[in-house]
Amino acid sequence: MKKVTVPLENRSYDILIGENLISNFPIYLEKLLSRRIIAIVTDKNIENLHLSKLVDVLSEAGIETKVLVINPGESNKSWETLQTTVDWMLANKIERNDIVVALGGGVVGDLVGFAAAILRRGIRYIQCPTSLLAQVDSSVGGKTGINTIHGKNLVGAFYQPTQVISDISTLKTIKDRDFLAGYGEVVKYGLLGDYNFYCWLETNFAQIKEKDTKTLIEAVAHSCEMKAKIVIDDEKEHGNRALLNLGHTFCHALEAATDYSDRMLHGEGVAIGCILAFDLSAKMGLTSQEDPVRIKQHFSEMGMMNSIKDIPGVLPDTDDLVELMFQDKKVMDGKLNLILTRGIGKAFIARDIDPNLIKSVINESLAS
């Protein structure tokens, strides 16, 4: 097992990364419980895979569980499901010193984290991410929230978890497409700030694709270390934490354009968005023309989407996609800021990007 610590003074917490951690869950709770009761929120997919094991080990340790199962999918990261979750916690008399466990992927983690932030003005919660995407990204750093009709993650709070327990064994049970979508976030870390890590991924991608435990632990731990370092320096995204959004402005627009459906998963959108960010950087003369080709080839070798054209179904036209991008949280004074690069591992915040250049790379991706 590997441990990554996020040192945030009195809000510091550990990220535990290893195999079969759910089986040992009570051990990690020993110093955290104020009473022998714990709330668990999960979705119907994870209920069938991991819930009974978690409930059983907690029961054997004399810990009572209260369980809420929600519908899976990005469309349930909504006002309605948030209200259902908060009302359920109140009906079950979950107290401020109790703990709620978010057992699932990014949707469950974001939703439960936000519910924990607002319930009784803040209760404790543990992230137990079961997808690669959640293990390397959404479970770490305290960003919580829901989507609205105006866009993704526009309502939420910065609220750090009490602990993150990433059981690599859960990755063996998810569908290949969902697993690969999470890989988009792993690659993002190399692209934004660690060239050597990106090269390591190019060398070890076959083992990752085969879900080799040792390689996965290394990839997840390094991703968490990179994110933790950025979060420590800029917890509430007033500066360099925005670098973690490499590819995300394009991604969020594409998610909105596909109604947050399984036509394109979040991590797939991140992969496409990263390529578009490098395409735009190359078009602006900031990075070499070879970089986006190299990255596109890597995602292709993993069997992932690598252009907008790969997204099935009808999409809005280019002007409408750019308009969706202007709902991004990084828009300031009506001007679009993007995360661009000066090469692999050298991301930076670019201000006031010419929309015509953005339209150009979108059109090329639609045609490629």
Per-residue pLDDT at 101 exceeds 70: yes
pLDDT band at 329 (very low <50, low <70, confident <90, very high): low
Evaluate whether 108 touches 102 at the Cβ level (below 8 Å): yes
User: Tens digits of per-residue pLDDT, 176-220?
Assistant: 999 999 999 999 999 999 999 999 999 999 999 999 999 999 999
| Burial per residue of 204-229, b for 16 or more beta-carbon CB atoms within 10 angstroms, e otherwise | ebeebbebeeebbbbbbbbbbbbbbe
On whether the pTM is more than 0.85, the answer is yes
Indicate the domain borders of the chain: 2-173, 176-367
- What's the pLDDT tens digit per position in 354-367? 999 999 999 999 98
Digit-coded pLDDT (tens) for 82-98: 999 999 999 999 999 99
Q: Specify the pLDDT at position 58.
A: 97
Residue 166 has pLDDT above 90, yes or no: yes
Contact 209, 187 (CB under 8 A): no
Identify the CATH assignment for 2-173 out of 3.20.20.140, 3.40.50.880, 3.40.50.1970, 3.10.129.10: 3.40.50.1970
As a whole number, mean pLDDT of residues 126-139 equals 96
Would the pLDDT of 237 be above 90?
Answer: no
Q: Tens digit of pLDDT for each residue in 285-295?
A: 999 999 999 99
pLDDT value, residue 22: 98
Q: Is the pLDDT of residue 236 over 70?
A: yes
* C-alpha closest to that of 137 among 219, 76, 81, 32: 219
Whether the per-residue pLDDT at 121 is higher than 80: the answer is yes
Answer yes or no: is pLDDT of 230 > 70: yes
CA distance 280 to 357: 7
- 40 Cβ contact list (under 8 Å, min separation 6): 51, 54, 55, 65, 66, 67, 68, 100, 101, 103
Q: Which residues pair with 347 in a beta bridge?
A: 341
Answer whether 2-173 and 176-367 agree in fold. no
Q: How is residue 145 written in tokens? A: 């929230």
**Model pLDDT, residue 152:** 84
> What confidence score (pLDDT) does residue 306 get?
93
- Cβ distance 146 to 106 under 8 Å? no
Return mean pLDDT, the chain. 95
pLDDT beyond 90 at 234: no
Contact 103, 51 (CB under 8 A): yes
Report the DSSP beta bridge partners of residue 213.
none
pLDDT at 334 > cutoff 80: no
pLDDT at 345 exceeding the cut of 70: yes
Q: Record the tokens describing residue 77, joined without a space.
A: 């990261």
Q: How far apart are CA 92 and CA 94, in angstroms?
A: 6
Residue 335 above 80 pLDDT?
no
- List residues with catalytic annotation: 121, 143, 185, 227, 237, 241, 245, 248, 252, 266
Supply the DSSP string of 215-250, one letter for each residue: HHHHHHHHHHHHHHHHHHH-TTSSSGGGGGGTTHHH
Selected from 1.20.1090.10, 3.20.20.120, 3.40.50.970, 3.10.129.10, the CATH number assigned to the domain covering 176-367 reads 1.20.1090.10
Contact between residue 306 and residue 284 where contact means Cβ atoms under 8 Å apart: no
pLDDT of residue 85: 98
